[in-house]
Amino acid sequence: MVSRVIPVDPFDLVIFGATGDLARRKILPGLFDRFCDGQMPPEARIIGAARSDMTSEEFRTLVDEAISEFGGALAEDRAAVARFLDALSYETVDAVGEDGWEALRGHLREGFVRAFYFSVGPSLFGDIAERLRSFGLADENSRIVVEKPFGHDLASAKKLNATLAQHFDETQIYRIDHYLGKETVQNLMAVRFGNMLFEPLWNSQFIDHIQITVAETVGVGGRGGYYDKSGAMRDMIQNHLMQLLCLIAMEPPAKFDPDAVRDEKLKVIRALDPVQHHHVVRGQYEAGEGEQSYREDAGDPRSRTESFVALRLNISNWRWAGTPIYLRTGKKLAVRESEIVVVFKETPHSIFGPDAGNHRNVLVIRLQPDEGMTLDVTIKEPGPGGMRLVDVPLDMSFAEALGPGAQAPGAYERLIMDVIRGNQTLFMRGDEVEAAWAWTDPIIESWVARHDVPKPYPPGSSGPGDADLLMRRDKREWREIKA
């Protein structure tokens, strides 16, 4: 099954931070992918901007190398790479000074969609927005794409929102959360609102609890400096897991449009109860065989930053009161796996007697790496042994079901195409980000007040044992993450 690719309108895209890690690993190879697919039209132009002094030719060489390293099989097509590189130029620009801005203006064409991607450290977001306005680079056709982290807490997020609002209208601000660009994350909405099967059961009357796990095998490696000031709560829970939670818990929006979807997500965040201290577990990975500990990676032998969080939350509304939701994320775990597990309640009465055992349906939505869905259904155990029950999975891998033509674009490239189309549905609105911080801040503040020290866990495990206790206390269990 191959879906038709509709080219977006020709555009000028300026990438601030074009020489950096994110641009080289994700943004530029992703744009090359869109170019090869025919979605990025040949008239589009990409302008790299950073402080490094380099010519456009040198920038093209840098991008060529990035495509070879991170661009997948398409990178072998040298003619396509050459055509893509033709669309690129570079300008040396200092985000906090005056240099380069006039010259940058010379790259921009009248009458084209303009997008400015802020792929730089967050301390520069406000400066760039201000200069875009003061140097006359922004018009009503312009959009800005703002990377994470969007603030460090509620106060800084509010400040950043206010700064951006001085220069751009909310309809021009695209706060990126790359999880929303993942195909299977969008599939959450398709599964929930495109099927009659699930929605009538999607509430606390039928669902015992929900688990959302984003497990990573990588450590904080070269990003220790950033990560140590952030930790898993700010780096993953406040944004990516919060977005997954919203999509799984929100009411059906009246239509699939930016404000209808974001209004519903906001209502979920605002309905979250404050999390009690004993419902949160923090962890920090220890050293393993040939592997550094978190503290070594972070360069601080006494760091108390968490590389793992598990928590239980409650949503106080009619749909979800009484159904706890458990979130879990961590680095250096046994496996890279992101999934949402919806555990339904047992039947109210078993007609099969005590020997049949306790059974319940479990829906697992696998977000990555093997995207798909499994629904555990209870059936009769085959054989002559009477009415004994057993749970069997109805298992669907999206790749197998839809075929190789269904290969989806990467998250960043898909979101950039949405920016050009002017579609904000998969971007966070300012009030959503603030609400997420308002819920996150007290959790972090309570750790600080209690001088909380994260529990150590061995690399390759499923996190600290206390995370299992969190579940066991509620007579529940995490779905196992195993290599």
Ligand X SMILES: NC(=O)C1=CN([C@@H]2O[C@H](COP(=O)(O)OP(=O)(O)OC[C@H]3O[C@@H](n4cnc5c(N)ncnc54)[C@H](OP(=O)(O)O)[C@@H]3O)[C@@H](O)[C@H]2O)C=CC1
Ligand Y SMILES: O=C1O[C@H](COP(=O)(O)O)[C@@H](O)[C@H](O)[C@H]1O
Q: Which residues are annotated as a binding site for substrate?
A: 178, 182, 216, 235, 331
Question: Interface residues for ligand Y in 97-116 (CB under 6 A)?
Answer: none
Question: Interface residues for ligand Y in 133-152 (CB under 6 A)?
Answer: 148
Query: Which residues have a Cβ under 8 Å from the Cβ of 458 and sit 6 or more positions away?
Result: 285, 286, 288
Residues written for the chain: 483
Distance CA 281, CA 278 (A): 8
Residue 208 has which token pair? 């015992």
Stretch that binds ligand X, among 117-125, 166-174, 198-206, 376-384 (CB under 6 A): 117-125
**At its nearest, how many Å lie between ligand Y and the CB of residue 373?**
19
240 among known catalytic residues: yes
Distance CA 227, CA 10 (A): 37
Strand pairing report for 280-285 and 455-457:
parallel
Residue among 34, 114, 148, 328 that touches ligand X (CB under 6 A): 148
Stretch that binds ligand X, among 56-64, 90-98, 381-389, 397-405 (CB under 6 A): 90-98
**470 with 310: CB under 8 angstroms?**
yes
**At its nearest, how many Å lie between ligand X and the CB of residue 282?**
22
Asked whether position 138 contacts ligand X by CB under 6 A, the answer is: no
Residue 387 has which token pair? 């009415």
Asked whether position 22 contacts ligand X by CB under 6 A, the answer is: yes
Distance CA 335, CA 352 (A): 38
**At its nearest, how many Å lie between ligand Y and the CB of residue 215?**
10
> Active-site residue among 167, 209, 240, 359?
240
Beta bridge partners of 318: none
Annotated binding-site positions: 17-24, 51, 148, 178, 182, 216, 235, 331
Asked whether position 183 contacts ligand Y by CB under 6 A, the answer is: no
Asked whether position 216 contacts ligand Y by CB under 6 A, the answer is: yes
Residue 292 has which token pair? 């550094």
Asked whether position 235 contacts ligand Y by CB under 6 A, the answer is: yes
Distance CA 182, CA 77 (A): 26
Annotated binding-site positions for NADP(+): 17-24, 51, 148
The smaller minimum CB distance to ligand X, of residues 223 and 304, is found at 223
Residue among 36, 40, 50, 104 that touches ligand X (CB under 6 A): 50
The smaller minimum CB distance to ligand Y, of residues 85 and 244, is found at 244
The letter for the amino acid at 71 is G
**At its nearest, how many Å lie between ligand X and the CB of residue 94?**
5
DSSP code, position 350 = -
Q: Choose among ligand X, ligand Y, none what residue 120 binds, the Cβ cut-off being 5 to 8 Å by kind.
A: ligand X
Tell which residue, 75, 80, 68, 61, has the closest CA to residue 18. Answer: 61
Distance CA 285, CA 473 (A): 24
- The side-by-side arrangement of strands in the sheet containing 362-368 is 389-397, 372-380, 362-368, 337-344, 207-215, 325-330, 308-313, 280-285, 455-457
Q: Choose among ligand X, ligand Y, none what residue 235 binds, the Cβ cut-off being 5 to 8 Å by kind.
A: ligand Y
Q: How many residues bind ligand Y (CB under 6 A)?
A: 3
Distance CA 75, CA 314 (A): 47
Distance CA 401, CA 267 (A): 34
| Positions in the binding site for ligand Y (CB under 6 A) | 148, 216, 235
Q: Which residues are catalytic?
A: 240
| Positions in the binding site for ligand X (CB under 6 A) | 16-23, 50-52, 93-96, 119-122, 124, 147-149
